[in-house]
Amino acid sequence: MSTTNDAKRLNLPWAVASKSKRTLRAQARAGKLELEAAAADTTAEGLRRNKPLSKRAVKRAEKKEARDRELVEAKANAKTRWHHERKWAFASKLGFYDPAAPGVPSSTRQMEFSHMAIASPPTSHRGLVFGVDAGSGWMIVHDPFTAYGDTLESPNVCYIGDLGQGKSSAMKTWGVLRQLILGRRVVVIDKKYQKDVGGGEYTPLARKLGVAPVRFSIGGGGSRINILDPRIAARLNEENHDSAEAFRTPAGQSMLVRAVMEEALRRPMTPKEGKAVRMAHRQALTDAKKAGEVAHIGHVLKALYAPNEDAAKATNLTVEELREWGQDPAFELERMIEDDLAGLIDGETSADIQLNAGLTVFDVSLLPEDGPALPIVMTIINTWLANTLYRQEEAVPTVLLIEEAWHTVQGSVATVTRRNTKLSRALSLSCQFAFHHISDIPADSPAISMLKECGTVLLYKQQKSADALACEEMFTLPAGTAEVITKLVKGTCLFKIDQFDPFEAIHVRSPLEVELTDTDGAMKSTSTIAFTEEPATDEAMEVTPA
Give the separation between CA 133 and CA 508, rounded to whole angstroms.
10
Q: pTM value?
A: 0.71
- pLDDT at residue 515, rounded to an integer: 86
Contacts of 277 (CB under 8 A, 6+ apart): 257, 258, 261, 269, 300, 304, 326, 329
Tell me: pLDDT of 28 over 80: no
Tell me: pLDDT of 291 over 60: yes
Tell me: pLDDT of 535 over 90: no
Pair 276, 325: CB distance under 8 Å: yes
- pLDDT at residue 284, rounded to an integer: 92
- pLDDT at residue 466, rounded to an integer: 92
What is the radius of gyration, based on Cα positions, of the chain? 38
Give the separation between CA 478 and CA 68, rounded to whole angstroms.
66
Tens digits of residue pLDDT in 98-156: 555 566 677 777 776 666 666 677 888 888 999 999 988 899 999 999 988 888 888 99
Tens digits of residue pLDDT in 469-492: 999 999 989 999 999 999 999 999
Q: Report helix, strand or coil for 371.
A: coil
Strand pairing partners for 459? 160, 494
Give the separation between CA 171 and CA 400, rounded to whole angstroms.
10
Closest to 497 in 3D by CA, of 188, 240, 132, 122: 122
Give the separation between CA 374 and CA 341, rounded to whole angstroms.
9
Pair 374, 405: CB distance under 8 Å: no
Most confident of 88-97, 232-241, 351-360: 351-360
Closest to 16 in 3D by CA, of 71, 108, 85, 74: 85
C-alpha distances in Å from residue 533, one per residue of 528, 529, 539, 540, 545: 16, 13, 13, 9, 20
Closest to 226 in 3D by CA, of 170, 298, 154: 298
> pLDDT-derived band of residue 15, with 50, 70 and 90 as boundaries?
very low
